[in-house]
Amino acid sequence: MGRRVLLIEDEPNIIEALSFILTRDGWTVHTHADGQTASDRIRSLPPDLVILDVMLPGRSGFDILRDLRADAATAAIPVLMLTARGQPKDRDLAMALGASHFMTKPFSNADMLEQVRLLMAG
Amino acid sequence: MVGISPSYLNLIEHNRRRIGGKLLNDIARALGSEAAQLTEGAEGPLIEALRAAAAADPGADAELPRIEDFAARFPGWAGLIAAQARRIAHLEARITELADRLTHDPDFATALHQVISAVTSIRSTASILMDDSAVDADWMQRFHRNIYEDSLRLADQSGALIRYLQGPGEDGGITRSAPDDVGRFLEGLDHHVAALEGVRHEEEAALRAEVVAGLDGMTHTRAARLLDDWLMRYTQDARALPLAAFEAAARVCDHDPARLAAEFGVPLAQVLRRLATLPPGHDHPEMGLAVVDAAGGLVTMKPAGGFVLPRSGPACPLWPVFTALGQPGRPIRARVRLPGPTGAELLAHAVAEPTGPPDFDQPPRIRATMLVRPAREGGPDGPVVAVGTTCRICPRTDCAARREPSILG
């Protein structure tokens, strides 16, 4: 079984497209669409990599990332943040909270795969 | 004597023909009068508008002592300058409003997020179909359906965004807040409701309902309740300060709120509200109003002369209305200067007062009211406070009250 990626994103068609390309690339993809329960899902899985959208129903990706880094069990999991807001302050906040990488929507599939491979290799 | 027919003179007397330059001087000479005296009544609003235009750009060094002479000699040019100054103020207020929406409005942020999500999905899915020749038929069909759905969503959302950014008067689109809707509705009325002036008690409810019915087509039913609250307060103010007597007294004392409050024996806040709702075009200066609650939240606003506070998100804390909140009961008067290339100078009167009946078991509910109008030469002395609308769109980098950096760079 390939290494596990947890995709936390609430747009079903983005979930489908990303799941497809990641699965084809050899990763085992789990998905979660709710911000409120995302931290619990990460702890119960736990994945080798989290792809985390910023704007989620129930709770923001920034809050979830903060939780993740504060918990010793999940603090080392690489997190690739996705956001529709590409403002420098959002990027700065994500990196300050401990994001491993930050990508702005819309992104190319090739860039997404390259970053996932890089983070898994690291 | 001055070479014009009696009928042409009649047209001039009734403001149906402009007059200026040599003809004005000839008539003045013939009557043994000053040119400025002849045009005093007719050009009052024009002179006021020119003063406001000059105050908005002090760096231009407009020759203020010759303002009446200018208006009399070049009425067409003077009218054009006044109209352009009003247009600039309107556009600046509109920019502030849009910037406020872009930075604080959750509806806008959500709509933009939906557009970008649809674009992201389409790009990613289309890329799979283009690049990956080994996609099986089931996936292919699913991706085609997804692209179709996302394209419909994108079309809807982008159309709604355009309608939203086009502003008032457009149907549908993204919902706005109830205070937004009420603010725009009142702007359409110039914040004056002639039907409620002198209204009898037994007719009041029906007339208010008639005005509220004008909100038809707005997106928020809550707006109707807010508007009715505003109309109730308007009616109370109109009863306490009957229009004809109040207008006459206001003109005599140059719209001095303290003198009017003393003369009519009413709270200062009521006078400030009443001044801001005087009918337009009656020789009153352009006046704006803001009412905030104890948390600084905007309850009512009437933009004017470049003055505007954000309906959502925190405002500049240096406005006298917030100073008044900290000193309930004490009238505050201050000259303020707006940021930007125009740097218009305004005169603000503010006071914070408790609202509602006194209650021994509850803290007082305080609201602060502020009236602003263009500052005039010879107005009250004192330091000029450099204010803005909100930190996010304020260019004053050295402001000690700054909460966060400006998005203007």
Per-residue pLDDT, B78: 87
Q: Which of these three, B166, B183, B201, is where a domain ends?
A: B166
pTM of the model: 0.53
Same domain, B304 and B332: yes
Of B16, B9, B28, B17, residue with least CA distance to B69 = B28
Residues of A near B (Cβ–Cβ under 8 Å) read 11, 13-14, 16-18, 20-21, 24, 55, 84-85, 105-109, 112
Q: Domain tally for chain A?
A: 1
Burial of B3 (0-12, 13-18, 19+ CB in 10 A): exposed
Q: How far apart are CA B341 and CA B339, in angstroms?
A: 7
- The label of the residue with tokens 């556009």 reads B91
Residue B105's pLDDT is 65
Determine the residue of chain B that is closest to A109 in CA distance. B124
Mean pLDDT to the nearest integer, A54-74: 92
Interchain CB distance below 8 Å, A109 and B143:
no
Considering CB atoms only, which of B117, B119, B127 is closest to A108?
B127
Q: What pLDDT sits at residue B18?
A: 62
Length of chain A, in residues: 122
Q: Could you identify the residue written with the tokens 């819309």?
A: A106
Does the beta-carbon distance from B125 to A21 stay under 8 Å? no
Percent of chain B with pLDDT over 90: 35
Does B113 sit within 8 Å of A107, measured CB to CB? no
By the 8 A CB rule, do B36 and B68 touch?
yes
- Which range has the worst mean pLDDT, B67-71, B169-173, B176-180? B169-173
Binary contact (B113, A55; C-beta < 8 A): yes
> B28 with B143, same domain?
no
Specify whether B147 is located in the same domain as B29.
Answer: no
Task: Give the count of domains, chain B.
Answer: 3
- Residue A116 is part of which domain span? 4-121
Residue B20 has pLDDT above 70, yes or no: no
B287 and B407 in a single domain? The answer is yes
Instruction: Tell me whether the omega of the peptide bond preceding residue B395 falls within 30 degrees of 0, making it cis.
Output: no
Residue B223 falls inside a structural domain = no
CATH number for position A112 = 3.40.50.2300
Task: Report the amino acid identity of residue B347.
Answer: L
pLDDT > 60? residue B174: no
Residues contacting residue B246 through CB under 8 Å, at least 6 positions apart: B260, B264, B274, B278
pLDDT value for A46: 92
Residue B140 located in a structural domain: yes
Residues of B in contact with A112 (CB under 8 A): 124
Write out pLDDT tens, residues B384-406: 999 988 887 788 888 999 988 77
| pLDDT bucket at B122, cuts 50 / 70 / 90 | very high
Residue B229 lies in a domain: no
Q: Please give the pLDDT value at position B341.
A: 62
Same domain for B16 and B67, yes or no, is yes
Task: Establish if B225 belongs to a structural domain.
Answer: no
Task: Look at residue B239 and tell me if it is in a domain.
Answer: no
Of A85-89, B118-122, B270-274, B281-285, the least confident: A85-89
Which among B112, B113, B128 has the least Cβ separation from residue A20? B128
Q: Which of A109, A108, A81 is nearest to A93 (CA)?
A: A81
The residue from B166, B185, B215 where one domain ends is B166
Within 10 Å of residue B377's Cβ, how many Cβ atoms? 9
Size of interface A-B (CB pairs under 8 A): 56
Q: Across residues B104-110, what is the average pLDDT?
A: 66
Asked if pLDDT for residue B169 goes beyond 60, the answer is: no
Across B226-383, the runs of DSSP E, i.e. the strands, are 288-293, 298-302, 332-337, 345-355, 365-374
- Residue A28's DSSP bridge partners are A4
In this complex, the residue of B113, B121, B149 whose CB is nearest that of residue A17 is: B121
**Contact B124/A18 with Cβ under 8 angstroms?**
yes
Average pLDDT over residues B156-168: 68
Q: Is there a single domain that holds both residue B320 and residue B347?
A: yes
* Residue B57 reports pLDDT greater than 70: yes
A87: nearest CA partner in chain B: B407
B333 and B366 in a single domain? The answer is: yes
Three-class SS state of B295: coil
| A84 closest CB neighbour out of B112, B128, B143 | B112
In A, minimum Cα distance to B111 occurs at: A84
Q: What range defines the domain where residue B115 resides?
A: 106-166
**More confident of the two residues B327 and B98:** B327
**Could you give the CA distance from residue B186 to residue B280 in angstroms, rounded to a whole number?**
13
Q: Are residues B305 and B89 in contact, defined by beta-carbon separation less than 8 angstroms? A: yes
Are residue B334 and residue B392 in the same domain, yes or no? yes
| Highest mean pLDDT (candidates A83-87, B173-177, B260-264) | B260-264
Helix (H) or strand (E) holding B397: none
Name the pLDDT band for A13 (thresholds 50, 70, 90). Answer: very high
d(CA A66, CA B409): 29
* pLDDT, mean of residues B29-49: 70
Three-state secondary-structure class, residue A75 = coil
Single out the residue of A19, A28, A32, A20 nearest to residue A61, CA to CA: A32
Considering only the beta carbons, identify the residue of A16, A21, A105 that sits closest to B120: A105
Residues B63 and B153 in one domain: no
Same domain, B12 and B134: no
Test A16 with B131 for CB contact under 8 angstroms.
Answer: no
Helix count and strand count (H, E) for chain B: 14, 6
What band does B172 get if pLDDT is binned at 50, 70 and 90?
very low
B102-106, B260-264, B280-284, B288-292: least confident range: B102-106
Neighbours of B395 (CB within 10 A): 12
Pick among B117, B143, B406 to test the A interface (most A CBs inside 10 A): B117
Q: Taking CB atoms and an 8 Å limit, are B139 and A18 in contact across chains?
A: no
